Amino acid sequence: MRMQRQARRLSGQAGFTLIEALIASSVFLIVLYGVYTVYDVGEANYSKGSRRWDVQTEARIALERMAREIRAAGYASPKLSDPVVIATNDTLSIHANMDGTGAKYITYSLRDCSGNVGTTLYRNVSTTTYCGGDPFIDNVAGLTFTYYELNNLTLPYPLTSTYQLDGQDAVTGTTVPSAPAVGSDRSLIKQIKISLNVQQQVRGVTIPFTATTDVALRNLIP
pLDDT: which is higher, 160 or 11? 160
CB < 8 Å & 24+ apart, contacts of 61-69: 62/121, 62/136, 62/137, 62/196, 63/194, 63/196, 63/211, 63/212, 63/213, 64/213, 66/108, 66/194, 66/196, 67/194, 67/213, 67/215, 69/94, 69/96, 69/98, 69/106
Q: For the whole model, what pTM was predicted?
A: 0.76
Over residues 72-130, the pLDDT tens digits come to 999 998 889 999 999 999 999 999 999 899 999 999 999 999 999 999 999 999 999 99
Measured CA to CA, the distance from residue 131 to residue 112 in angstroms comes to 6
